[in-house]
Copies of this chain bind each other. A is one copy, B any other.
Amino acid sequence: MYDDVPELLPDLLRGLATTRAIRRYRDEPIPDDDVRDMLFAATRAPSGSNRQTFRFLTLRDGPVAVEAKAMLGEAFRDGWSAKRSTDGYDVGSGTADDTPKSRQARAMNHFVEHFEQTPLVVLAIVRRRHEGIGDGASVYPACQNLLLAARALGYGGVLTMWHAGVEAELRALCGIPDDHHLAATIPIGRPQGRHGPVRRRPMDELVFDDHWGRTARWIEDPAGTAHTAAGPPTRR
């Protein structure tokens, strides 16, 4: 498979720039072949010393999946409910009709209220070897491959940590061993809405050259790039 591969892949670059977080899914099951191709791509990611300490558990419509999705649905609704208050979605621009914040709030409401209908939920898991964020280097590249493969096949998903509220029960239900982290919960489905260019801060806030805070001469967002609102200034 892929024995003859071109050196340049412009559509790969295009895919990286147009993979959005997708939280609203059409009510369509995902064929086995597409699930397999997404998971195959996930497992092609790098990991520390190529030890492949990552594992993926797919939740579709099996007996454990139905129970796990119900458990996660509650946790996601609780998580979003808490975030609504702490991040100010219920005041100011969050309550207006058509601001980025109010649109985001509506999408989140829909996401958590329909969580149980998500066609595919993938738990990303990694064996514990390090303290701190180190084990993340052996599982989050694979999560990104999974999301990009979904994009390539006409699906979309989002990397979430909202299993936190039910982690102990979920681990017991799914049989996740104690010496493994549950690193992410990734719902996937065919998008309502579509992928397209993502918004980020201007590159000169995110990329430095030669020393922290120093702007590179070559830094320039491509023409037409839309930005998110400025964040708190980076300390220089």
Provide the bound-state CA to CA distance between A236 and B7, in Å: 40
Kindly list chain B residues whose C-beta atoms are within 8 Å of the C-beta of A41. Answer: 13, 16-17
Provide the bound-state CA to CA distance between A6 and B12, in Å: 12
- CB contact under 8 A between A1 and B17, given known A39-B207, A56-B208, A136-B140: yes
Is A203 a contact partner of B39 (Cβ separation < 8 A)? Answer: yes
Is A16 a contact partner of B149 (Cβ separation < 8 A)? Answer: yes
Task: Select from chain B the residue with minimum beta-carbon distance to A184.
Answer: B137
Provide the bound-state CA to CA distance between A216 and B140, in Å: 22
Does A98 belong to the interface (CB within 8 Å)? no
Is B13 a contact partner of A209 (Cβ separation < 8 A)? Answer: no
Number of this chain's copies in the assembly equals 2
Nearest-neighbour CB distance to chain B for A129, whole angstroms, equals 11
Chain A count of residues within 8 A CB distance of the other chain: 108
Task: Select from chain B the residue with minimum beta-carbon distance to A56.
Answer: B207
- CB contact under 8 A between A213 and B54, given known A43-B200, A144-B141: no
For chain A residues 17-68, which have a beta carbon within 8 Å of chain B? 17-19, 21, 32-33, 35-37, 39-46, 48-52, 54-60, 62-65
Kindly list chain B residues whose C-beta atoms are within 8 Å of the C-beta of A60. Answer: 209-210
For chain A residues 192-229, which have a beta carbon within 8 Å of chain B? 194-198, 200-201, 203, 206-213, 216-225, 228
Does A168 belong to the interface (CB within 8 Å)? no
Does A134 belong to the interface (CB within 8 Å)? yes
Provide the bound-state CA to CA distance between A54 and B9, in Å: 25
Q: Please pick, from B64, B87, B137, B222, the residue contacting A136 in the complex, using a CB distance under 8 A.
A: B137
Does A133 belong to the interface (CB within 8 Å)? yes
Does A96 belong to the interface (CB within 8 Å)? no
Is A151 a contact partner of B12 (Cβ separation < 8 A)? Answer: yes
For chain A residues 103-149, which have a beta carbon within 8 Å of chain B? 126, 132-137, 139-141, 143-145, 147-149
Top 7 A-B residue pairs of the complex, sorted by shortest distance between their CB atoms? A136-B136, A62-B210, A140-B140, A32-B218, A12-B15, A141-B144, A175-B212
